[in-house]
């Protein structure tokens, strides 16, 4: 099999992994140096797969051979798919080639498990080591780590990668036991905890070295030693949604625990996609894509809007998020007693709960109201969706009409139904 054929197989096999965003790392550039690559986006060709996922990283598996038999995975040992395997040098050459042609801003590398978790992890780490140490590659590297690999290999991976991730796979330990019996949910969390400690240690060392005064030798240019970096873009994980019966409330509770206990940067939600020759334990069709979207919106509310996981999912809907309205609007409609909110007096926490007001708009409102009383025209200038915001707020020249209470308001704010295409689910 030639390199192009391997690329076709192993890039296709990687498309099920959603966690490929390249945000939050430190800035590096090759301008004025001898290395190749930068972590800044300029000049980089961002492209998107037909399903909308970002593919501006070269996103591949080292191999899609795997000795495990996770039922939801197209690469499981019992799956009847074409197999391929890259060598370390092939992945390095492809990454450099794509980078030079301005097609990618970095590499996202995952792998099926071959021989043993440690053997696989060594190969994955070797790709990153050669890129960094031999080719001085300064682009973005995201490594998917093998949870059962030794702590030493995880530590080594963090020295070369911007971001590390370990897939939690399913929202509950019971779900993992049922669908991926060879995977150890406790080991996954133990590895996440180890990475969190290394990331914290590196951040602490960076703070200490920045605070240390520079002692200079006579006539020498003072220079501060740099603290070693460990996965500066942190760690993330991916959870498959809809492969088992876990409800949204449980999914968000697991995410809240992952953010709190292991300080993950992101939890990615990946709607289960049916695979060829699937086990009868799996659903026959994918959950609606809008469910994945609502989970991302709910996740956003937890991370940036001060919502706790247990107040986002309405108690009346069997643990599921509403699909017809976004979770913030659903919360506001269910808590009409908390509205209207006076935009000239309410604290930031309450402004963030107003449907249609984003973090930037709230911060601008807080600055503007220091100098004058806000009116409707101020909201127009902020380009917020007035139809959504006005029923929930009081302004100097506006108070919502009583007639908008209750069901009528919900009906008015629900997006209009769209004619389904012939082949929609
Ligand atoms: S270990 Fe990973 S690649 Fe292997 S079957 Fe499970 S999910 Fe798929």
Which residues fall within 8 angstroms of residue 294, CB to CB, at 6 or more apart?
A: 248, 321, 322, 323, 326, 327
- Give pLDDT tens digits for 297-320: 999 999 999 999 999 998 788 899
Cβ atoms of residues 20 and 108 within 8 Å: yes
**Which residue has a Cα nearest atom 2 of ligand 1?**
112
**Which ranges constitute the DSSP H helices of 222-326?**
248-262, 289-304, 309-312
- Give pLDDT tens digits for 28-42: 666 566 666 655 543
Among the listed residues 267, 332, 260, the one whose alpha carbon sits nearest the alpha carbon of residue 295: 267
d(CA 386, ligand 1 centre) in Å: 47
Distance of CA 297 to the CA centre of its chain: 12
CA distance 197 to 201: 6
pLDDT in the model for residue 279: 81
- Tell me the pTM: 0.83
Q: Which stretches of the chain drop beneath a pLDDT of 50?
A: 21-24, 41-53, 55, 424-425
pLDDT in the model for residue 392: 95
CA distance 286 to 170: 15
Among the listed residues 304, 166, 158, 173, the one whose alpha carbon sits nearest the alpha carbon of residue 236: 166
Residue to mutate (ligand 1; options 109, 111, 113; most atoms within 8 A of CB): 113
Q: Which residues line ligand 1 (CB under 6 A)?
A: 66, 68, 70, 73, 75-76, 112-113, 180
pLDDT in the model for residue 207: 78
Q: For residue 160, report the phi and psi dihedrals to the nearest 5 degrees.
A: -105, -25
Among the listed residues 101, 241, 86, the one whose alpha carbon sits nearest the alpha carbon of residue 171: 241
């Amino acid at each position: 099999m030639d390199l192009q054929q391997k690329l076709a197989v192993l890039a296709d096999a990687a498309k099920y992994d959603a966690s490929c965003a390249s945000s939050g790392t430190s800035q590096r550039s090759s301008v004025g140096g001898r290395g190749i690559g930068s972590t800044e986006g300029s000049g980089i060709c961002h492209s998107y797969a037909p399903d909308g996922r970002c593919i501006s990283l070269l996103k591949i598996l080292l191999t899609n051979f795997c000795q495990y038999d996770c039922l939801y995975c197209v690469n499981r040992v019992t799956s009847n798919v074409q197999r391929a395997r890259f060598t370390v040098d092939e992945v390095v050459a492809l990454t450099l080639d794509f980078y030079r042609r301005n097609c990618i801003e970095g590499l996202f590398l995952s792998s099926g498990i071959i021989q043993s978790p440690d053997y696989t992890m060594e190969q994955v780490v070797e790709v990153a080591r050669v890129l960094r140490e031999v080719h001085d590659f300064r682009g973005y590297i995201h490594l998917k780590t093998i949870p059962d690999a030794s702590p030493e290999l995880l530590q080594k991976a963090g020295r070369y990668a911007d971001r590390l991730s370990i897939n939690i796979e399913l929202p509950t330990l019971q779900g993992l036991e049922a669908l991926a019996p060879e995977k150890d949910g406790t080991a996954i969390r133990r590895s996440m905890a180890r990475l969190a400690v290394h990331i914290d240690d590196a951040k602490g060392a960076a703070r200490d070295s920045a605070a240390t005064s520079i002692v200079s030798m006579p006539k020498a240019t003072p220079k501060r030693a740099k603290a070693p970096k460990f996965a500066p873009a942190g760690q993330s994980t991916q959870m498959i949604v809809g492969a088992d019966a876990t409800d949204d409330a449980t999914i968000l509770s697991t995410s809240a625990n992952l953010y709190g206990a292991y300080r993950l940067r992101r939890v990615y939600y990946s709607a289960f996609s049916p695979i060829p020759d699937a086990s009868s334990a799996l659903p026959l069709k994918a959950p609606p894509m809008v469910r994945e979207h609502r989970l991302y919106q709910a996740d956003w509310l937890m991370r940036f809007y001060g919502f706790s996981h247990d107040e986002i999912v309405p108690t009346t809907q069997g643990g599921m998020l509403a699909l017809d309205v976004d979770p913030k609007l659903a919360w506001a409609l269910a808590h009409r007693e908390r509205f209207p909110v006076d935009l000239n007096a309410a604290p930031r926490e309450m402004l963030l709960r107003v449907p249609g007001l984003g973090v930037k708009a709230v911060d601008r409102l807080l600055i503007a109201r220091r100098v004058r009383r806000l009116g409707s025209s101020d909201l127009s200038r902020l380009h917020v969706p007035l139809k959504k915001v006005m029923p929930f707020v009081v302004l100097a020249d506006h108070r919502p009409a009583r007639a908008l209470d209750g069901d009528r308001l919900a009906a008015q704010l629900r997006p209009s139904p769209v004619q389904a295409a012939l082949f929609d689910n």
